Structure 1
Amino acid sequence: MICSAYRFPPFSAPLAQGERPMRPKPTLEELEQLAEIFSMTLDMICVADIHSARFLKVNDAFTRVLGYSEAELLGRTFLDFVHPDDLEATIAILREKLQRGEYVLHFTNRYRCSEGNFIWLDWLSRPIVEKGICYAVAHDITDRIEMEKELRESRQRLQDIVDFLPDATLAIDASKRVILWNKAIERMTGVPASEMMGKSDHAYTVPFYGKPRGQLMDLIWEENEAIAANYPTLKREGDALLAEAFSNALYGGKGAWIRMKASPLYDSNGQIVGAIESIRDITSIKEAELSLQESERLFRTVFEHAPVGMAVIDMEQHFLQVNRSICAILGYEAHELIGRSFNEFTHPEDRQGGVERWEQMKRQEAITTQAEKRYMHRSGRTIWTISQNALVIGRDGKPAYVVSHLIDITAWKQAEERRSQLEEQLRQTQRLESIGRLAGGVAHDFNNKLQAILGFTQMALLEAGEQEKLRRWLMMIQQAAEGSADLTRQLLAFARKQNIQPKILNLNRIVSSLIAMLKQLIGENILLTWVPEKDLWPIRIDPSQIDQILINLCTNSRDAIGGRTGTLTIETRNVLLDEAYCHGRPEFFPGKYVMLAVSDTGCGMEPDVKSRIFDPFFTTKEQGKGTGLGLATVYGIMRQNTGMVHVYSEPGKGSTFRLYFPHADLPSDEDAEKKPPRESIGGGGGDETILIVEDDADVLEVAQTVLARFGYTVLIANGPNDALKIVETHPGIIHLLITDVIMPEMNGKELGDFLKQRHPDLRILFMSGYTANIIAKHGILEKDISFIQKPFSVQTLLETVRTVLDKPAP
């Protein structure tokens, strides 16, 4: 292209030595010769003046491409059509090339078309200085430029996308040179793309592992066990490779867990031409997984070793998971519970309530529930629990499963039941104490009155001679007094206030001696069967109390059988009660016992009646036919002797009373056997001197009269102070002191002890209707104490006085 010397200073520079001067403007003939050439090519060709840069000739292709006519172009300069933004650059290129001596000029610029648009032209020009012209050939490269632009933009968009990816991404070509290194991998490794692009020889692994080494992408081309060994979690998904590894060099040597995915890059022929790998920092995920694993391990440990039963239950009520405690509570192994419904193990009476609470949770009306609930142990026993359930909602907002806690409260329930039983026992004991206090208060005065009635009646019988009517009346008075005395004794026995003298004895002997009397008591319509056990263990009890027990129990059985024929069985047996038997029975204690059982085929008892049979004055008999103290007396005697009573009864099937006497590991006392009663009053008299101390005048007179009649010298005192004076003033020996126990001034025990200190040979006989534990502890007479219970008969008084006087001196 030719420019004027004015516009293009380099073109007007002096000619070099030997260079020919430019020729004048070409002739018309020369131009016409060129025109023929112009018309033969499809390229854009123009000829311009080298000095003015004006077009001298353009071919058809030139006008066709630009849209101008030849007339519009001729006379215009080359620079008139250059894009303003390209003008300075075009001039600068031309000047630079000409100054360097280049005469084949190649450049590109945008050129204006007739419609005002610009196209890209690729110019190749050759100035011919000697002719003063410049030939130029131009090619329209607009499509190529636009394509290159689009390609650059596409590449940029792709690069932006790759850089936008959160995962570190790199790619290599078939020569394993780095062709992609995105922003994420720059941030991860701290290495900019400018330093890594084009690198090979595994340079891209150094930021990850501190040295070059085989990488996951290498396995795209070949199987390599050494490289694969670096990735224990390696797996394939189609043609992609996935793995996880710890990269020790990342983040300044801090290291990180990374997850990698490598895939091949294919050309249009399906040949592998490279590989791309995405790398994600999964350290936080790994830490979360480890934390989750630790949490799961902790949960599993807590779940398995929790002291309460725990279970995970699906919404169909089936066990999904169970811990050791719930297995222990129910008595099953875990595999025996999983998959089964908890309702299978629920107590039948509690199933409906459990279903209702479950339905509430399914409807999400309740998220948590709590209730006392019974389950059935594998052994069949009932387990009391506190059942706590928590509903877990799934991601879909629907109930997913239930976490259940079971707290075994069976022991607490049993303790609560035992506490209730003990409270009832306490109330019963308090009632007994109240009755005992009442009985004690009444017994002393009442027995004194009975003593006077019984004593004078028996003395009157001695004086009545052959007067039958008078004797009959007196006998009726005596029987009434004795019946009243029995009633008082029963009341004291129930309240454990009667005085007893326990002995080591064989129960079989005592029962055997009573069989004949008991047969008469129950009547001929009842068959009495006696079943003693051989080698029965000894027990310690007052023999008279066995009489009371059997008479009351047999009387109760007789009344239960009524006028029908029936059977009454008395049996004895050695038994050993263990913890299992005593569990749930607060009145029972483990140990060795002798059992006395009385069974009948009577009418039996309803549960409400059975629960009250030992209550004082409770009776089911018609008015006037029972005092309600018979079984209460039995209960009181057993409690007084630390024994136990168990009753079994069903309506229509009879009753069985089992009495358990503690085993006494001692030989039987020789005097424990019953002595036959004396049939008549008389004998047992003497000539000794006896001092009687009694604050009740009637009793004092009775005792004086009886003893004086049978030969004794009798001194009387109406109280302790009077007795002391008599002892001080009496000139002779006093052989026996008979004293009431409860008196004003001082009690009989204190009086006896005082006199005994001064008269060691003095014998003492206590008498009382109620001792108030003065000479007895818990109703058991102290050792070597001689005692006679009011009201006593004349015969009993005489025999007892004689026995005391005849005892060897201490």
Structure 2
Amino acid sequence: MIEKLLKAMELAGVEAMIVALPDAVITDVTVPLLRGWNCQRGDVVGKALLKAGAGAISARHLPPDESQGSPQIEVSYAQLLGTVIRKTFNSQKWTEGQNSYYLLTGKAVDAGAAQIALQNEKRLSLALKSGGYALWDFNYETGETYNAPEMYEIFGHKVGDKTLNFTTFNDLIHPDDRDKTIDEKIRKAPFGADVFQTRYRVKTAAGKYVWIESLAGVLRNTVDGQPLKCIGLCRNIDEQMVALERLKVSERNFKRTQAAARLGSFSYRNESGVSRLSQEMAALIGMADAMIHPNLKTFIGMIEPGDREKFCEALELAKIGTAIKNLEIAVKDKAGEISHFEVTLEPERDEDGHVEGIFGCCQCVSERKALEKRFHQAQKMEAVGQLTGGIAHDFNNLLMVVMGNLQLVEQLVRNDERALKRIRAAIDASEKGSELTRRMLAFSRQQTLQNKELTLNDLLFSIQDMLKQALTAIVELKIIPGDDLWAVKADKTMLETAVLNLAINARDAMQPKGGTLIIETSNRKLDAQYCAEHEEVIAGDYVEISVTDTGMGMTPEIMEKVFQPFFTTKGPEKGSGLGLSMIYGFVKQSNGHIKMYSEVGHGTTVKIYLPRLRDSAKEITPTLPSGLQAQLQKELGSFNQRTSETVAADTKKQLVLVVEDNPSVRDVAAAMIEEMGFEVITASDGHEGLKLITERKDIDLVLSDVIMAGGMNGPELAVKAMKVRPKLKILFMSGYAPGSVRQMQDLPDSIELVNKPFTRNDLTEKVRKALVA
């Protein structure tokens, strides 16, 4: 009966509830009451009305049993966000059988107001749906979960699916996100924290994880702070999170690109004057860790005075709308180092086209500037090399004619001491000129190298005594050989000369006090990173020879010039300025690399890298350096060898073919060979020489120039001649061989070469060696 009465009141729009005695538990309520309190049936049904503080609904007391009429009582309901609603109800005791109840009735809800409330509820539902939100609530006391239809849609479940509830919801959360959920936040939150927002991934019915954003409020027990009810909103933000992650990846890539390109940026607002430098820009000027983040004023203060005014003028132009491109400035960073930047200023405009700010981009171009400087230096060295090489080539031929004829004349006036004295002085001057051209050709990488298989340890120990003689007693020599050193292929005499020149330079740098000279060898692998910093180097295995002294050292300005020909820091008559340039050219021509390190007051290290020789064919037998003793005597100023002394040749009228396109050189070379006792025939180019070789089987030796006019050079002649006469002996003469050196590598190692300009003794020794090879 009482339930029918309550239903009638509900239809009439009356706020009412039934309270069962003796425990005063609410057994039922009308819908108007739920709307008035803005709650769900589960929020109040089953609650004990008289247990103060036990729940959201409470009353101080019920009317006494002896009361007459319809006594009034006040009932309080605490809403989700803490608002307390107090309503006054008329009470009427009701008995059905053994059960007793109180029927609490309030005022009837105005039909118009109810309609407005219903419309508001629809509007709220529509607003939530438009925003992609779905409503849910959970009763911690009853364990009941309410999900709006949109909740099921978000999670891909059918409406009303009981598996989608607050208790089992945690199983759908991604394992990495479970501590982010509303439930976890509620359990861990301190008392008084009632509103929560979080994002996490949940698994849909299809098995796919999607990102969810949740916003929830909690109603708590006023005594112990335990959650009683939670009402919240959910929405699917998967597309936003995917876009956000892409944006983060893009930002990371942009920052990496900026760092790799050494690119920074800054912004400036015209109206406020506020500016800001990006983190990358702050890092470029050495202020990434500054206590106060730098701004544009800080940056301007670091620009070198000569460029500061130029930058400020460009900034003023950008403020009024002029774009600035490729403005180069020099900046002294926090550490005091000078960096070069290329600046772009782009005006930023509003919708009306008015300039409201500037976006600036600064790229550090210090490495590019250094590379350009090295490139220009290399171009300069190459141009000087080509010039000196061309001059030296022509000069060599002139010296060959002069020296050759002087030596021939010397034999004719051997009894005239006065004439001999003059001739020998001229020969000595020609010899010095020959050494000068040899160094010029070495620098220009146009000398003809006789590359042989070598091990640097053996080479160093073979010249150790000679080095000690050159260094004198004030310098201590230490040779530190590397273990299991790889073999190289290089010109032995040139390498010995290079080491000797470095030792003499070190000796001079340590005067007058002396010091220590350390020569070390080791195997080295030059990797891609090293080669990126030294573009002329090819990555691979190298053998390093390092020469270190404890001398005065050099400034960076001097180091930039040390490999230039004719540059010297020594006094007049103490250096030609070609020693290091000769070493530079020799190393480059040997496909190697040379690097110098120096510090003023501490000393200098020169490192030569020669490519490792793969598949070494044999063990290297160390031998004493031929001709290096004479080189040492020249460096020490005690060279008194008489270049014209006759070296007898053991001949039996053997026939020698001289192939040379320069008539004067050809005539001198032929005359020298005739004086040795050989028969001589001559040819003016390679084609004529090949014809004679084919026709005459009695030719014992071919002495050929390397570079000749007529379309066939010396190496090409040798290859074709050996096809006709496989056992034919060949000797090359040259001082300049720009393209043919590589071709010579394909010829047998037994083929000798005599460098122009040569003396009669040089030629005699080489001829004898070639004939017995």
What TM-score, normalized to structure 1? 0.54
Please say if 1:287 is aligned against 2:127: no
Partner of 1:801: 767
Would the aligned equivalents of 1:176 and 1:200 in 2 still touch at CA under 8 Å?
Answer: no
**1:637 is aligned to 2:453:** no
Q: 2:701 aligns with which of 716, 736, 743?
A: 736
Tell me if 1:702 matches 2:668.
Answer: yes
**Which one of 733, 737, 741 corresponds to residue 767 of structure 1?**
733
Per-residue deviation, 1:289: 6.5
- CA shift digits 1:386-441 (9 cap, x unpaired): 999999xxxxxxxxxxxxx999x9xx96xx66665655554444434433433443
1:550 is aligned to 499
Deviation readout 1:465-511 (Å, 9 max, x if unpaired):
58766555444433322222222122222222111122221101111
Rg: which structure is higher?
Answer: 1
Residue 532 of structure 1 and its aligned partner are, at CA, apart by: 2.0
Contact 1:309/1:325 (8 A) holds in 2: yes
Match of 1:559 in 2: 508
Judge conservation of contact 2:381–2:564 (CA < 8 Å) in 1: no
Distance 1:241 1:326 in 2: 57
Aligned partner of 2:681 among 715, 726, 739: 715
1:663 deviates by 2.4
1:447, distance to aligned residue in structure 2 (A) = 1.2
Native 8 Å contact 1:502 1:543 kept in 2:
yes
Choose the corresponding residue for 2:404, options 455, 464, 467: 455
- The aligned counterpart of 1:539 is 488
Q: How does 1:596-675 map to 2 (within 5 A)?
A: 596-667=545-616, 668=618, 670=620, 673-674=623-624
Q: Secondary structure at the match of 1:477?
A: helix
Q: 1:217 aligns with which of 26, 33, 46?
A: 33
The amino acid that maps onto 2:404 is G
Could you tell me whether the CA contact under 8 Å between 1:543 and 1:674 is conserved in 2?
Answer: no
In the superposition, relative to structure 1, how do residues 459 and 328 fare at CA in structure 2: closer, same or farther (>3 Å)? closer
The one-letter code of the counterpart of 1:653 is H
Separation in 2, partners of 1:327, 1:621: 45
Determine the structure 2 residue equivalent to 1:355.
Answer: 294
Cα distance change of structure 1 residues 591 and 228 upon mapping to structure 2, 3 Å threshold: farther
Q: Are the aligned partners of 1:521 and 1:555 in contact in 2 as well (CA < 8 Å)?
A: yes
- Equivalent position of 1:501 in the other structure: 450
Mapped partners of 1:387, 1:177: distance in 2? 81
Distance 1:235 1:747, change over 3 A: farther
Q: Is the 8 A contact 1:613 1:632 kept in 2?
A: yes
Q: What's the counterpart of residue 226 of structure 1?
A: 42
Query: Which of 666, 677, 683 is equivalent to 2:648?
Result: 683
Q: Which runs of 5+ in 1 are unaligned?
A: 1-173, 180-195, 203-211, 245-259, 311-322, 331-340, 377-381, 392-404
Task: Give the CA deviation at 1:608.
Answer: 1.8
Query: Partner amino acid for 1:801?
Result: V
Letter in 2 for 1:355: P
Secondary structure of 1:683 counterpart: coil
Structure 2 unaligned residues grouped into runs of 5+: 17-27, 47-54, 59-74, 92-103, 134-234, 263-277, 300-317, 334-338, 349-358, 631-640
Distance of aligned partners of 1:651 and 1:216 in 2 relative to their CA distance in 1, 3 Å threshold: farther
> Deviation string for 1:625-655 (max 9, x for gaps)?
4333222222222222222222211111111
Contact kept in structure 1, 2:258 and 2:280, CA below 8 Å? no
Deviation string 1:746-788 (CA, Å, 9 cap, x unpaired) is 4443555666665555433232232342x42288574454432
- Amino acid in the other structure paired with 1:733: D
**Inter-CA distance 478–527: structure 2 relative to 1 (3 Å threshold):** farther
Cα distance 1:266–1:327, how it changes in 2: closer, same or farther (>3 A)?
Answer: farther
How has the CA–CA distance of structure 1 residues 526 and 694 changed in structure 2, closer, same or farther, with 3 Å as cutoff? same
CA contact (8 A) 1:573 1:594 kept: yes
Matched residues in 1 for 2:510 and 2:438: separation? 27
Q: How many residues in Structure 1 have an aligned counterpart in Structure 2? A: 539
Per-residue Cα deviation, 1:520-566 (whole angstroms, up to 9, x for no partner): 33333322222223432222211122123212212322232233322
Counterpart contact for 1:504–1:669, Cα < 8 Å: no
More displaced, 477-486 or 458-467? 458-467
Structure 2: how far apart are the matches of 1:682 and 1:327? 70
2:700/2:728 contact within 8 Å kept:
yes
AA matched with 2:499: L
2:390 corresponds to: 441
> What is the letter of the counterpart of residue 391 of structure 2?
V
Indicate the SS of the match to 1:521: helix
Closer, same or farther in 2 for the Cα pair 1:650/1:584, shift >3 Å?
same
Partners of 1:791 and 1:780 in 2: how far apart? Answer: 23
Q: How does 1:184-199 map to 2 (within 5 A)?
A: 198=12
Residues 753 and 226 of structure 1: is their aligned pair in 2 closer, same or farther, counting only changes over 3 Å? closer
Which residue is 1:570 aligned to? 519
List per-residue Cα deviations over 1:36-75 (Å, max 9, x = no partner).
xxxxxxxxxxxxxxxxxxxxxxxxxxxxxxxxxxxxxxxx
Look up the SS of the partner of 1:791 in the other structure.
coil
Q: Deviations over 1:104-135 (max 9, x none)?
A: xxxxxxxxxxxxxxxxxxxxxxxxxxxxxxxx
Q: TM-score, with normalisation over the residues of structure 2?
A: 0.57
- For 2:506, the aligned partner's letter is S
1: distance between equivalents of 2:57 and 2:706?
A: 108
In structure 1, what is the equivalent of residue 163 of structure 2? none
Q: Residue 608 of structure 2 aligns to a residue in which SS?
A: strand
Report if the CA contact (8 A) 1:497-1:779 is conserved.
Answer: no
Q: What is the alpha-carbon distance in structure 1 between the residues aligned to residue 260 and residue 695 of structure 2?
A: 84
Is contact 1:736-1:805 (8 Å) kept?
yes
| Matched position secondary structure for 1:690 | strand
CA offsets 1:687-720 (integer angstroms, 9 cap, x no match): 2011223343442333223222222112234556
Match of 2:430 in 1: 481
**Cα distance change on mapping 1:240 and 1:226 into 2, 3 Å:** closer
| Greater shift in the superposed pair: 526-535 or 790-799 | 526-535
Q: Distance in 1 between matches of 2:347 and 2:56?
A: 41
- Asked if structure 1 preserves the Cα contact closer than 8 Å seen for 2:731 and 2:754, the reply is yes
Residues 299-319 of structure 1 show CA distances to partners (whole Å, capped at 9, x for unaligned) of 642454334379xxxxxxxxx
Letter in 2 for 1:308: R
For residue 777 of structure 1, give the secondary structure of its aligned residue in structure 2: helix
- Write the mapping of 1:755-794 to structure 2, written as runs, cut at 5 A: 762-773=728-739, 775-777=740-742, 782-783=747-748, 785-794=751-760
The equivalences for 1:81-92 within 5 A come to none
| Larger mean Cα displacement after TM superposition, 497-506 or 447-456 | 447-456
What is the distance in 2 between the residues matched to 1:622 and 1:706? Answer: 40
Name the SS of the counterpart of 1:737 in structure 2. strand
Distance 2:80 2:261 in 1: 47
Distance change in 2, residues 1:325/1:788 (3 Å): closer
DSSP 3-state at the match of 1:308 = helix
Distance of 1:615 and 1:647 partners within structure 2: 14
Mapped to 1, the partners of 2:259 and 2:730 lie a distance apart of: 71
